[in-house]
A and B are shown apart, each in its own frame.
Chain A
Amino acid sequence: MAKMTVRTERCKGCGLCAQACPKNIVAINKEKRNKAGYFTAECTDDNACIGCAMCAMMCPDCCITVEK
């Protein structure tokens, strides 16, 4: 059981987390913008997350927390 959480108000939607995820379950949600106007990242399948924290390691804005 693992979980990644994006602090969406800090996310700039750069997508570096998504390209780093080995399970391909991190994506930029193109439906929702944050206050700064960015589309933000989210986990598309919580059950598939292995808590490797590769998304968080790549995040330039340090807005991902990972629990396991």
Chain B
Amino acid sequence: MAVVFERPKSLCDVPLHYCPGCTHGIVHRLVAEVMDEMGIEGDTVGVCPVGCSVMAYNYFGCDMIEAPHGRAPAVATGVKRSNPDKFVFTYQGDGDLAAIGTAETVHAATRGENIVVIFINNTIYGMTGGQMAPTTRPGQVTQTTPFGRNPELAGYPVRVSEMLSTLTGVALAQRVAVDSVAHIREAKKAIRKAFENQKEKKGFSIVEVLSTCPTNWGLTPTDALKRLREEMIPYYPLGVYKDSVAGGND
């Protein structure tokens, strides 16, 4: 018998600290698989956020930098500008990327920084115990929206892929999900494309991955996937929002 599926080499052989059923691990694996397939682990520098994936530096086999909260795209800019021949990616959650780090995200995107951003959207702050995120859906109950997010009080969520797709510097803005094997395959293709874009110097590529947080959603891992499918995807439609070359649409 031959091995048809095993742990990618770019994913360090250590236990992940994530809660049972948390889909961070799936996305980590996809990024690692892409690094393996492209043979770029030794030429890649990853940048971690602050949030549940703060310790992703222990998991990816490439060189890693832990950035201040929200600043990963700025840190990645510093890495890429000084090392244009290296692959650079950030791995960020919704609070990190779309709240405290909005300026860094938008400006790295509009500059067309030739980097990859993996954006985990699970509509909640996981690390701090389940508070409202910039992507929390209207009506969604969190620790800080105990009666459901009321847009009159707490405003509306940000649709990051749609927003960034309007920027000239963006090469790829795609939303994917990891609720099923079919969607996971799509997600991997998108991540591969983002890294290929970087190789071809096309500009800023963001892959938004709809993910779950069973612990803070108060659901079993299986029910969390169901909610992702039935409630999140209709609100955050999957698809390619931009596929171009930085500057290509002007």
The residues of A with any CB-CB pair to B shorter than 8 Å are 1-3, 10, 12-16, 19-20, 38, 51, 53-54, 56-62, 64-68
The residues of B with any CB-CB pair to A shorter than 8 Å are 1-8, 11, 15-16, 18-26, 28-29, 180-181, 184-185, 214, 220-222, 225
- Tell me if B4 and A38 are in contact (CB < 8 A): no
- Tell me if B5 and A57 are in contact (CB < 8 A): yes
Name the A residues within 8 Å of B181 (CB-CB). Answer: 20, 54, 57-58
CB < 8 Å neighbour of B24 from A16, A51, A58, A60: A60
- Tell me if A66 and B5 are in contact (CB < 8 A): yes
Count of CB-CB pairs between chains A and B under 8 Å:
77
For residue B64, give the distance in angstroms from its CB to the closest CB of chain A: 18
- State in angstroms the CA–CA spacing of A66 and B5 once bound together: 5
- State in angstroms the CA–CA spacing of A13 and B117 once bound together: 30
- State in angstroms the CA–CA spacing of A51 and B2 once bound together: 10
- State in angstroms the CA–CA spacing of A14 and B23 once bound together: 11
Q: Using A60-B18, A61-B15, A62-B25 as known contacts, say yes or no to A1 and B1 having CB atoms under 8 A apart.
A: yes
Q: Using A60-B16, A61-B25 as known contacts, say yes or no to A16 and B222 having CB atoms under 8 A apart.
A: yes
- Nearest first, the 3 closest Cβ-Cβ pairs linking A and B are A60-B25, A14-B21, A12-B20
